[in-house]
Structure 1
Amino acid sequence: MSSEPILSVQNLSKTYRVFGRPHERVFQAIADRRGSGRLHCFEVPAVKDVSFVLNAGESISIIGRNGSGKSTLLEMIVGTLQPTTGSVTRPERISALLELGAGFNPDFTGRENFRMAASIHGLHQSEIDAIEEKVERFAEIGRFIDEPVRTYSSGMYVRLAFASAVHVKPDLLIVDEALAVGDIFFQQKCFEFLDSNLRDTPKLIVTHDLASAVRLSTRCIVLEN
């Protein structure tokens, strides 16, 4: 078995610049180009110097108060947000449930969105055909699987997104509190599926629920300030 970690996060930081006046953006661009180091803005840190590794078979829960940078950290890990400093070494096949409905084309049906997502994850058509019925059955959205997802409720989004994410054999599963939108019975169903079918799949899970963190994780990361 390889000793290389599934995910490596090194000194990851994200800082946002806040400008008081429009012309300060121009001054800052000039200063950056000259390399003077002069600031014409306020810098607000969202995530500061986070480092950790995730090994095969591990699951990590990320907990913290609102505004502590949990979602920002996950976005940098997935690659949808560029860090200010630091680096991420990630696996090729990541299933991420971040912003509700992200990655879905609102005009495509649920079935079309699932098949498109599975194809993007590298599954062949025969593999997609083999799991399509499982996804449809797990999502439990009935005839809406063949309706445009713009007609879905938030709960239906979550059902389809989770069902799609966990059936594509990800190297890493990332969940950012998306399950909080679903009803309690579907949440329980998801937790049971993770326990029984994806126990050995590396996971990063953002949650406010300490009981869920203990149940689903081998380690916890607490973000503060």
Structure 2
Amino acid sequence: PIEPRDRARLMVLNRSDGSLKHHRFFEIVDYLQAGDVLVFNDSRVIPARLSGKKADTGGKLEILLLRRLGPNTWETLIRPGKRVKIGSRLELANSSMTGNGQDFKVLAEVVELMEGGIGVISFSDETLLPELGRIPLPPYIRIPLKTPERYQTVYANVAGSVAAPTAGLHFTPELIGKIENKGVHCLFVTLHVGLDTFLPVREDNPIEHPIHQEYGVLSQEVANHLSQARLEKRRIICVGTTTVRLVEA
């Protein structure tokens, strides 16, 4: 997002007459009213992109952490997937290393392989992965971020996503404060953005496109707030499709 975040452009579509208006994002407060419920996804992007090589051949690999399955064990996306098999041993390096003889900090082994380059990997020490990893950026961001925190929402709290819930990137603490002062109720849920963010739809019939599981948490307290708002016919506004998916589940 630009700086300040809430100075990004905002296009408003009037569903009644189809007219368009152009504003700045901070003016979204003018379209909210007391009693509205605004639901945010507080998932935080993890440094999930890892660089490494095969221990036997030195062939370079990239690993994208998708989901923690247990201690030191992760479901991952391996590229190129054809270079590995069950039992392949890997060495992971910091992205600044060039393979010129420096010691690698983490060893890994492929313990299961599935379609589409997805594999389960066991790491020697997963506590070092945040130090080795990089924040995965979407293809439209072509320049490495000097400050990775720019690719987090200001309310990101629960680590687990491999991509940011980008609809919320333009909120600032000050803007959220103004929204709450107007009488809008701000609620937070957690849905970790996963593999499907990176997979294109290749099927002619979109219904046949495989959808993978996502981890989400909607607390009983939040559920009660949403149920009460519906009962009172107040507006429930989800910030982004990740929030919609969880609220509608």
Q: Fold conserved (TM > 0.5)?
A: no
Q: TM-score, normalised by structure 1?
A: 0.23
Question: Which protein is bigger by CA-based radius of gyration?
Answer: 2
- Select the structure that is richer in strand: 2
Q: TM-score, normalised by structure 2?
A: 0.21
